[in-house]
């Protein structure tokens, strides 16, 4: 089994920074929640990862078939449960130009459905949280 590691530090106020594979990803909280509003909140990155993952699979689908991606974009809508205050439905729309081949309409949906982020939600990993004193 391969293991990957993300290091998380706290650069100031409510900012949280993750270092992963040579990248630094900074999150912050909105100003109304006490943050500076200088970066997306962690949950926003989670949502964006779903949408961009589906987008990647649409892009790969088109590239594999030599289809232009000009005029193609995705939108994602989230419906929140008023009682649980959790998202209960996510809808991704793949917007295609009028000349997109009809024979690929269902296939491009199946491609977006292969998003690895979504598959990990549907087949959730086990979570363990521990302390390590150094």
Query: Residue 122 sits in a domain of what CATH number?
Result: 3.30.300.20
Give the pLDDT confidence score for residue 2 in this predicted structure: 79
Q: Based on the domain organization, do 21 and 82 belong to the same domain? A: no
In whole angstroms, give the CA distance from residue 87 to residue 90.
7
Give the pLDDT confidence score for residue 85 in this predicted structure: 87
Number of structural domains, the chain?
A: 2
Q: Based on the domain organization, do 76 and 55 belong to the same domain? A: yes
Q: Based on the domain organization, do 60 and 122 belong to the same domain? A: yes
Q: Based on the domain organization, do 14 and 48 belong to the same domain? A: no
Average pLDDT rounded to a whole number, residues 22-36: 97
Give the pLDDT confidence score for residue 117 in this predicted structure: 96
Residue 49 pLDDT exceeds 90: yes
- Half-sphere exposure of residue 120: CA atoms within 13 angstroms, side-chain side: 11
Q: Based on the domain organization, do 23 and 33 belong to the same domain? A: yes
Residue 128 pLDDT exceeds 80: yes
Task: Give the DSSP H or E segment for 11.
Answer: strand 7-12
Q: Based on the domain organization, do 8 and 66 belong to the same domain? A: no
Q: Which domain does 2 fall in, by range? A: 1-39
Give the pLDDT confidence score for residue 3 in this predicted structure: 86
CA distances for 31 relative to 12, 34, 47, 96, angstroms = 14, 5, 20, 36
Q: Based on the domain organization, do 34 and 88 belong to the same domain? A: no
Give the best-scoring range by mean pLDDT among 1-15, 56-70, 78-92: 56-70
Give the pLDDT confidence score for residue 74 in this predicted structure: 98
């Amino acid at each position: 089994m391969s293991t990957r590691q993300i290091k998380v530090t706290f650069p100031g106020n409510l900012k949280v920074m993750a270092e992963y594979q040579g990248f630094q990803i900074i999150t912050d909280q909105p100003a109304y929640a006490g943050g500076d509003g200088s970066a997306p909140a962690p949950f926003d990155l989670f949502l964006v990862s779903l949408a961009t993952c589906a987008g990647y699979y649409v892009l790969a689908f088109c590239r594999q078939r030599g289809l232009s991606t000009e005029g193609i974009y995705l939108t994602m809508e989230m419906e929140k449960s008023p009682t649980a205050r959790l998202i209960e439905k996510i809808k991704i729309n793949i917007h295609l130009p009028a000349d997109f081949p009809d024979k690929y309409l269902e296939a491009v949906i199946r491609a977006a459905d292969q998003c690895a982020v979504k598959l990990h939600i549907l087949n959730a990993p086990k979570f363990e949280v521990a302390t390590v004193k150094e």
